[in-house]
A and B are shown apart, each in its own frame.
Chain A
Amino acid sequence: NAGVTQTPKFQVLKTGQSMTLQCAQDMNHEYMSWYRQDPGMGLRLIHYSVGAGITDQGEVPNGYNVSRSTTEDFPLRLLSAAPSQTSVYFCASSSHVAPFEQYFGPGTRLTVT
């Protein structure tokens, strides 16, 4: 049981490049979320999903896309990377039984130059 996994751990992009951050969970959780963590700002919700095929925007969705084709996977796509997207990205999941008790992945540290 690996919990929540994220790849890659580190990534450097040039402005304008696109990429996908991967997130997978093996706990059969219905709810999955993406957060970004910036110094002095805590974690801010980017997008979330309450089940396969259902996604919604969080506080800071601009510049990011998500899809949820399976229960296990919830990839985050950066369409055209900008320096303002330099951050640490965390994926989290939770079950419908305890929807607010979120399990977090190890994070992806992204730098956009």
Chain B
Amino acid sequence: AQSVSQHNHHVILSEAASLELGCNYSYGGTVNLFWYVQYPGQHLQLLLKYFSGDPLVKGIKGFEAEFIKSKFSFNLRKPSVQWSDTAEYFCAVTPYTGRRALTFGSGTRLQVQP
């Protein structure tokens, strides 16, 4: 079974700092990769996704993620965070074939200080 690891559980940054959140997965086959975000009091929302092609994918609100197959990683980045980016971020993976459901990481709580 696949699993997802997010090693940063709680990250505190000042506004304008750069962000990188780590995500590693374990699965031997082809995968689809996602980052979801949960703003305080809101639903989970899809931030960005990778299915195939260019390993650098861009999502909403200036976020991007890079898929590095050799490292089984899909790290999330943003050059300059804002206070409004304060949220919990979840990495998720699903195999290319099979069950239509996601395996989530444990999440990273990002706190951006003004």
- Name A's B-contacting residues (CB within 8 A): 4, 31, 33, 35, 40-45, 48, 50, 56, 58-59, 90, 92, 94, 99-102, 104-107
B-side contacts of A99, CB under 8 Å: 100
Checking A45, A101, A105 against B101 with a beta-carbon cut-off of 8 angstroms, the contacting residue is: A45
A-side contacts of B100, CB under 8 Å: 31, 48, 50, 94, 99-100
Chain B: minimal CB distance from A74 (Å):
13
Checking B34, B45, B101, B105 against A42 with a beta-carbon cut-off of 8 angstroms, the contacting residue is: B105
Nearest B-chain residue to A56, judged by Cβ: B99
Complex: how many Å from CA A59 to CA B94? Answer: 13
Q: Is there contact, CB below 8 Å, between A45 and B43?
A: no
Interface of A: prevailing SS = strand
A-side contacts of B32, CB under 8 Å: 100
Q: Which of B67-114 contact A (CB under 8 A)?
A: 90, 94, 99-107
B-side contacts of A100, CB under 8 Å: 32, 34, 49, 94, 100, 102
Nearest A-chain residue to B43, judged by Cβ: A104
Question: 11 A-B contacts, Cβ less than 8 Å apart?
Answer: A33-B102, A42-B105, A42-B107, A43-B44, A45-B101, A48-B101, A59-B103, A92-B44, A94-B100, A100-B100, A104-B45
Nearest A-chain residue to B32, judged by Cβ: A100
Known: A42-B107, A45-B103. 17 other contacts (CB 8 A): A33-B102, A40-B106, A42-B6, A42-B105, A43-B102, A43-B104, A45-B102, A48-B99, A50-B100, A56-B99, A58-B101, A92-B44, A94-B100, A100-B102, A101-B49, A104-B44, A104-B45
Q: Is there contact, CB below 8 Å, between B9 and A44?
A: no
Q: Which 6 A-B pairs have the closest CB atoms?
A: A42-B104, A104-B44, A43-B104, A99-B100, A42-B106, A104-B43
Q: Is there contact, CB below 8 Å, between A102 and B106?
A: no
